[in-house]
Amino acid sequence: MRVFIAGIDGYLGWPLAQFLAARGHQVGGVDGYQRRQWVSEMGSQSATPILGMDNRKRAYQDAFGEKLWFREGDLTNWEFVRDSVSDFQPEAIVHLGECPSAPYSMIDLEHTVLVQQNNIVGTLNILHAMRDITPDAHLVKLGTMGEYGTPNIDIPEGFFEIEYQGRKDVLPFPRQAGSWYHWSKVHDSNNVMFACKMWGLRSTDIMQGVVFGTRVDKMQDDERMITRVDFDQAFGTIINRFCCQAIIGHPITPYGNGGQKRSFIPLKDSMQCLTLVVENPPATTEYRVFNQFQGVFTVKELALKVRQVAAEIGFDVPITNLENPRIESEDHYYNPKHQALLDLGYHPTEDIDKEVLMMIEDLMKYSDRIEAYKDVLIPDVRWNGSRKKVQTI
């Protein structure tokens, strides 16, 4: 299948290109390298030493025997999106090309507007390119489980049938996001749902849990193929940040009491799921929502898990709870469903400890790169609009 990856240079995009190529798909992609700039703006770098795209393309060709179709550009530029889609003629478009950071969107007004505008306009451009050029293509759009927030009822997959005052309907499940970034994803989900209804496009909107890990099945051992792993407050995801902390002897730092429950998924499971979605498109004109995660954990459980696994191989670090820079509940009900991907054949990784161990072993050799930027491990972007390093509680 001809699969177009928007954001192919990113944490998910680069391993997905490899995963799909290994399965025989023809992969193309675009990227404007914004993620590299944003992480640099946060005063950080990827823990792993990632190559530039020219060298990545060479490595890809060495590994898979064919050239990687790639264009550099910005998804908010309509002509660029139109020409890229027109030239590549995708059967599936995996849209990973959004700014994925809650803290980044909370820095100040400028960043709020940047994140909402970037994500909304990029998605509107892709929807219009699909309408005009490839109306039969399948849009695989990355949303986030964070769109739902933490309601006091079970979370279905996108839609639910309810009875209200004696009548029934199937309606979109209400969203209660927790940052300007998460709301930008809700706005996008709404825009995609509308485009499907109006123009007969088809899309799978993936509410993904927090991704962690370094490894992907079928990724070559070639270090040139490694993906980025961020550990700064804005672009580092929680388990990855905890592992980077442990490796350099830094305390593991949950926010608040750590009772927050969230959905998580190993990077390799994310690749498995995205591939299942690409290879099993919905009917024409269907808009469907999949909740994509392996399991639910509290932040406290994850801190303990990383601490224990790290200790087993000699990294013995304490857990230090920090003031929570976010405004969020630390004690709440959380029960999201995720049946659709299981029905398609998703086999969730069972041994999360082993994933954490592999990640720590992978990152150990880059501990100097983390150590050099360890200042970014303590957050200072606060949800109340101020900016000040949080303290131990």
- Which of the ranges 16-24, 186-194, 226-234, 271-279 carries the binding residues for a copy of itself, by CB under 8 A? 186-194
Closest to 139 (Cα-Cα) out of 125, 158, 118, 157? 125
- State which of residues 2, 26, 64, 151 lies at the interface with a copy of itself (CB under 8 A): 151
* Interaction of residue 249 with a copy of itself, rule CB under 8 A: no
Binding positions for a copy of itself, 368-387, rule CB under 8 A: 383-385
Residue type, 313: I
Q: Return the DSSP state at 374.
A: G
- Which of the ranges 24-32, 189-197, 247-255, 304-312 carries the binding residues for a copy of itself, by CB under 8 A? 189-197
- Dist. CA 32–CA 24, nearest whole Å: 26
**184-187 contact pairs (CB < 8 A, 24+):** 184/98, 184/99, 184/105, 184/115, 184/116, 184/119, 184/120, 185/98, 185/119, 185/143, 185/144, 185/146, 185/147, 186/143, 186/147, 187/116, 187/119, 187/120
261 is catalytic: no
* Interaction of residue 169 with a copy of itself, rule CB under 8 A: yes
- State which of residues 24, 65, 168, 283 lies at the interface with a copy of itself (CB under 8 A): 168
Q: How far is the CB of 130 from a copy of itself (least distance, A)?
A: 11
- Dist. CA 376–CA 299, nearest whole Å: 19
Look-up: residue for tokens 């954490």?
356
Residue type, 263: S
* Interaction of residue 153 with a copy of itself, rule CB under 8 A: yes
Q: How far is the CB of 383 from a copy of itself (least distance, A)?
A: 6
CB 227 within 8 A of CB 198: no
- Dist. CA 224–CA 278, nearest whole Å: 25
- In the complex with a copy of itself, the residue whose CB is nearer, 64 or 160, is 160
Q: Site size for a copy of itself, by CB under 8 A?
A: 47
Q: Which of 11, 112, 150, 185 is catalytic?
A: 185
- Dist. CA 13–CA 88, nearest whole Å: 17
Q: How far is the CB of 190 from a copy of itself (least distance, A)?
A: 6
- State which of residues 154, 350, 351, 375 lies at the interface with a copy of itself (CB under 8 A): 154
Q: Which of 104, 148, 181, 255 is catalytic?
A: 181
* Interaction of residue 86 with a copy of itself, rule CB under 8 A: no
Rounded to 5 degrees, what angle do the CA atoms 144, 20, 226 make?
80
144 is catalytic: yes
262: tokens are: 């969230």
CA 244 to chain centre: 18
* Interaction of residue 388 with a copy of itself, rule CB under 8 A: no
- In the complex with a copy of itself, the residue whose CB is nearer, 122 or 251, is 122
* Interaction of residue 191 with a copy of itself, rule CB under 8 A: yes
Q: Which of 76, 144, 204, 253 is catalytic?
A: 144
- Which of the ranges 156-164, 203-211, 239-247, 255-263 carries the binding residues for a copy of itself, by CB under 8 A? 156-164
Beta carbons within 10 angstroms of residue 190's beta carbon: 15
104 is catalytic: no
Residue type, 131: R
Write the CB contacts of 162 (distance below 8 Å, at least 6 apart in sequence): 168, 169, 171
* Interaction of residue 198 with a copy of itself, rule CB under 8 A: yes
3-state secondary structure of 173: coil
- In the complex with a copy of itself, the residue whose CB is nearer, 49 or 385, is 385
* Interaction of residue 120 with a copy of itself, rule CB under 8 A: yes
Closest to 263 (Cα-Cα) out of 318, 337, 331? 337
* Interaction of residue 125 with a copy of itself, rule CB under 8 A: yes
- State which of residues 24, 54, 65, 164 lies at the interface with a copy of itself (CB under 8 A): 164
Residue type, 339: Q
- In the complex with a copy of itself, the residue whose CB is nearer, 186 or 247, is 186
- In the complex with a copy of itself, the residue whose CB is nearer, 197 or 347, is 197
* Interaction of residue 83 with a copy of itself, rule CB under 8 A: no
Catalytic residue IDs = 144, 181, 185
Q: Residues in the site for a copy of itself, rule: CB under 8 A?
A: 78, 109, 112-113, 116-117, 120-121, 124-125, 128, 131-132, 151-154, 160, 162-165, 167-169, 171-177, 180, 183, 186-187, 190-191, 194, 197-199, 327, 333, 383-385
